Structures are given as structure tokens and as C-alpha cells.
Amino acid sequence: MLHHDTKKSHIVIASDIEAEYESLSNSLKPSRVVGFLVDEFKVEDAKAVIAEAYVSESDVKYLLLASNNFNTISQNALLKLLEEPPKNIELILIAPTKSNLLATVRSRLPIIIKKIEHDVVEIGMNLAKIEYREIFSFLKEHSRIKKSEAKKLVEALFYRATVVDKLILSEKQLENFEMAYKLLELNSRVQSVFAMLLMSFVKER
């Protein structure tokens, strides 16, 4: 894992949200820490975070956002703040899994994984060199999986693309990953979702 200054804004993936929240709150002392620990992080929580972020500080202030479920609207509301935080404000997001966070959020902050999820799915395809026939066999193989399994596969594809194949994803590809989670939530056909994701990796020949 890359070394990262844990005193700067980042995302922590941890299986026990509350324990990680307590541990971070203590380790950041004596700096000022303002915490937001909720089971579901909603748009009103995002507004409270934004309001707190714009209270000017002469020293560094840490905003800890810990939740089992960050909803989409609340994450979108935080994007501008994550992109351009005010002076002396550092944001730390704590979530149980990366798939709970939008691709646009994940792309803005370094990610520290405290506990690797046991069920990371291995993807055997090289997305940098993917062929149509590989896509078709992948779609056929995964046509009947459950929504929860499909989400893990989306996560695995994102990991394969960015970490294993070291691809720099285009804005469109990032949007596709974000859209995939939303479509699966809406019970769209799994094959359609994966076709959309994988076709964006096929090189124009």
C-alpha cells in the first residue's frame, strides 16, 4: 500500500466504522476534531458538514464523516467541498466498503484500506486489452447473479482497471462505474449494466 499522510484528507475503508471513528478521533488530538457518525449519511448531514467546513479556523480542523451508508445525493453535495476544501480543513471519510462511495468521490481522495474485504472477486481479464469475445463470455457467465454479487463484481472491475491494469479512467468511464451502482440499485438487468461498463474499455480499432 502506498504511504499516505494520514493527517491529510483521505478515505478510510474499515469493517468497524465506530471503532475506526474513535481511534481516529483520539489519534488526531490535540487538533480540533468535529465528528459526524451516523448509520445513514443523508443530505442534511452533508449540509451540516459543509456549514462546519466554512467556519474559519486558524489551525487545522478535522471533519470525520463516518457512516455505513453514504447516500448518493449526500455524496454529490460534498463533491465541491472535497475538490476545494477551505483553508485548514481536512476531511476524512470512513466507510465499510469502497462500493458505498461514488467513483467521483473515490477519485478525489486517497483511500486507505484498514481491513481488506474477504470477498474481493478476482477478475481474470486484462481491461487494457479486452476483446469483444471476452465481454460476451463474461456477460454469459454472470447473467444470473444477485444484486449484491453484481455490486461486488463492479467493485472488482474498478479495482482491476485502476490497480492491476493501472489504467487512467476517462471521465466517461468513471461516470459508467457510478451509473452501474445506481442501475443495480434500481434492479436493472445485470447483463446490460456490465455490457455498458466493459464496452467502454474496448479500444477503437
CB 14 within 8 A of CB 44: no
Instruction: Based on the fold, state whether residues 20 and 92 are members of the same structural domain.
Output: yes
What is the pLDDT tens value at each position of the chain, 205 positions in all?
344 566 799 999 988 889 899 999 999 989 999 999 999 999 999 999 999 999 988 999 999 999 999 999 999 999 999 999 999 999 999 998 888 899 999 999 999 887 544 455 678 889 999 999 999 999 999 988 988 889 889 988 988 898 888 899 999 999 999 899 889 988 899 999 999 999 999 975 4
Q: Is residue 16 part of a domain?
A: yes
CB 97 within 8 A of CB 15: no
| Alpha helices (runs of H) in the chain, residue ranges in sequence order | 17-27, 43-53, 72-83, 103-106, 132-141, 147-159, 171-185, 190-199
Instruction: Based on the fold, state whether residues 34 and 109 are members of the same structural domain.
Output: yes
Instruction: Based on the fold, state whether residues 143 and 63 are members of the same structural domain.
Output: no
Q: Is residue 150 part of a domain?
A: yes
What's the number of domains the chain is made of?
A: 2
Range of the domain at 30: 10-113
Q: Which has the closest alpha carbon to 198: 147, 148, 134?
A: 134
Instruction: Based on the fold, state whether residues 100 and 140 are members of the same structural domain.
Output: no
**CATH number (domain holding residue 70):** 3.40.50.300
Q: Is residue 120 part of a domain?
A: no
**Model confidence pTM above 0.85:** no
Q: Is residue 127 part of a domain?
A: no
Instruction: Based on the fold, state whether residues 22 and 93 are members of the same structural domain.
Output: yes
Q: Is residue 1 part of a domain?
A: no
Q: Is residue 41 part of a domain?
A: yes
